[in-house]
Structure 1
Amino acid sequence: MLEALRTQDSGDTAIISTTPIAPEDAAAAAAPGAEAVDAPGLDLSSLDLAAVEAAVRRAAADEIMPRFRQLAAEDIVEKNGPHDLVTVADRLAEEHLTAALTALLPGSRVVGEEAVHADPTVLDALHGDAPVWIVDPVDGTRQFVHGDPGFATLVALAHRGEVLASWTYAPALGLMAIARRGAGAELNGVPLHTGTPDPDAVLDVATSHYDFTDDDQKRVLAALETGGIAPRPCGSAGLEYLHIARGEIDATAFSWENAWDHAAGLLLVHEAGGASGTVAGQPFRIEGGNALPFTAARDAETARRILGLLAAAN
């Protein structure tokens, strides 16, 4: 299990990295500007990262925020049950982002939550050779529907299973977090660092919400109800990852693997100095097929502790 934990080490997947990026290096490296994303075998030198950020902001400004706290009953539809909602804002924002992002990177594909719901074969793009934009137009739709500002637009750029860059934008909160593979992470232009929990502190852990878990998943996650850990149901997954990157919570424990919920946040946590892993002792794969639950945490030791408890109950 331990050797499979992934942490930031000059941008590569590593065995329990112990060398976080220096603050001064992160500040320079994470500047979004028009810098290129580097990826082995893929030329992204023409991709303007500032233009990607602008596209994310524009989609939220045009399609999401005008409908925040303004939704009519007919604007909200249940997908797979009363807790799994989609709104007109989700659909239109994803359509907006699909057009904008593929225009910025010709030949790229989009795997969006709503497109996959309509046609599951869209997921096949994660296994192909083309670069893929992974999009959750409104992560935390339930919060959005109830007028809670705790929702986000999540975008990640991946190639052959490797997440290269990500954008986590909470428009109602005025937060834009950006991460680049091997170059650190930032929030509103300020470098992010997960830090390390105080050895005597009770760990604050966000877990899969009980409304979205079956009895067996609840049983496994209940292993975290022990001394020194304070589990609670998660809100927007993307914002929980941002909380870890900011050092505001200590870990997550999730029992579902949708790429659009996790790709952006996992890169954000890794580039801020954190760690992640699955109960099978493997790195989380955005293509799916993961042993669940999995964790992301502020540091490798916290990830070890969470995974040990989950694995023992699995």
Structure 2
Amino acid sequence: MKSKVDVTALADLLRRAAKAEIMPRFRRLDRSDVRAKTEATDLVTVADEQAERMMKAEIARLWPNALFVGEESVAVDPALLGRLKDAELAIVVDPVDGTANFASGIPAFGVMVSVVFMGETVAGIIYDPMGDDWVMAEKGSGAWLRRPNGEAQRLSVAAPVALDQMVGMASTGYLPKDKQPQILANLSKVRFLASYRCAAHEYRTLAAGHVHYLMYYKLMPWDHLAGTLICQEAGAYAARFDGSPYLPHHLDGGLLIAPDKASWELLRGEVFTV
């Protein structure tokens, strides 16, 4: 399914915004350039704000009929998030995913965008400013690693393995407090648990076949729409904890992604027992 947006042009915009507004500020932020939003670990920097401002203006020029939903725009106008469900065409932007890493000088952050058409995610792009490449997908066309010189490599998730051999990432901080102890104990059943504090790189890692699962509980669209589609196009099985499809307007209900449905069901039953 081709989106209503030129995905190549959108990918180029992410790269230009990163080079103009993000990378010049990496490891060069003053204290005044960083502030907390909802809590101490929920940060925003001048790079987030300026990159989103640049992308918003360019998207308005190229696709004037698209609803723009940016993480920082929603922070200013929360009502904007509610318009996503009914928008015919929307472009959802995370200008700097992994802001805490970026502000700490850790080179694990990314720029993410997704295209939503009639309530369905139809395209997703994750740009890595450090590696200067994209992983991207349009619905029905596979997932691809693309480089600025035109090189392209099709991505595929890892083959399924036994539970005690699974390596993956889980964001446990937003789980219900009464469920956290049991789930953390259950994670001893897998081989390895990690968190990059950056969904952009976690999704890239699963789509490229290097890990076997991802789990998130809080579902903000700029964090998860692009990566979920990319992983699905790379062959993954993704669903909310109740087994229902993850849709752009969902903000909770958990999200679990695995190489296939059998692995998903095993992880859901043995580990993520919310």
Query: Does the alignment reach a TM-score above 0.5?
Result: yes
In the alignment, the residues of structure 1 paired with residue 176 and residue 87 of structure 2 have an alpha-carbon distance, to the nearest angstrom, of: 35
In the alignment, the residues of structure 1 paired with residue 182 and residue 250 of structure 2 have an alpha-carbon distance, to the nearest angstrom, of: 20
* Residue 28 of structure 2: aligned partner: 70
Normalising by the residue count of structure 2, what TM-score does the alignment of the two structures yield?
0.91
- Does 2:82 match 1:129? no
1:112-168 Cα shifts (integer Å, max 9, x gaps): 111111111011221223311111100000110111111000000001221111110
Instruction: Identify the structure with bigger relative contact order (alpha carbons < 8 Å, sequence gap 6+).
Output: 1
- Distance change (3 Å), C-alpha of 1:310 and 1:119: farther
Percent of paired sites with the same residue? 31
* Residue 222 of structure 2: aligned partner: 260
- Does 2:267 match 1:306? yes
Larger displacement relative to structure 2 (222-231 or 166-175)? 222-231
Spell out structure 1 runs of 4+ moving beyond 6 A: none
In the alignment, the residues of structure 2 paired with residue 244 and residue 280 of structure 1 have an alpha-carbon distance, to the nearest angstrom, of: 22
Q: Aligned-pair distance for 1:209?
A: 4.8
Normalising by the residue count of structure 1, what TM-score does the alignment of the two structures yield?
0.80
In the alignment, the residues of structure 2 paired with residue 129 and residue 225 of structure 1 have an alpha-carbon distance, to the nearest angstrom, of: 39
SS in 1 for 2:249: coil
Unaligned stretches of 5+ in structure 2? Answer: 147-151
The one of 272, 282, 285 equivalent to 2:234 is: 272
The one of 157, 162, 171 equivalent to 1:194 is: 157
- Does 2:192 match 1:230? yes
- Distance change (3 Å), C-alpha of 1:284 and 1:221: farther
* Residue 10 of structure 2: aligned partner: 52
- Distance change (3 Å), C-alpha of 1:53 and 1:229: same
Do the aligned partners of 1:68 and 1:147 also contact (CA within 8 Å) in 2? yes
1:232-279 Cα shifts (integer Å, max 9, x gaps): 334201211111101111111111010110000000000011111122
Unaligned stretches of 5+ in structure 1? Answer: 1-10, 12-36, 39-43
What RMSD, in angstroms, separates the aligned Cα atoms of the two structures?
A: 1.9
* Residue 297 of structure 1: aligned partner: 258
Larger displacement relative to structure 2 (86-95 or 101-110)? 101-110
Do the aligned partners of 2:218 and 2:252 also contact (CA within 8 Å) in 1? no
* Residue 282 of structure 1: aligned partner: 244
* Residue 90 of structure 1: aligned partner: 48
Provide the aligned length of Structure 1 versus Structure 2.
269
In the alignment, the residues of structure 2 paired with residue 166 and residue 198 of structure 1 have an alpha-carbon distance, to the nearest angstrom, of: 27
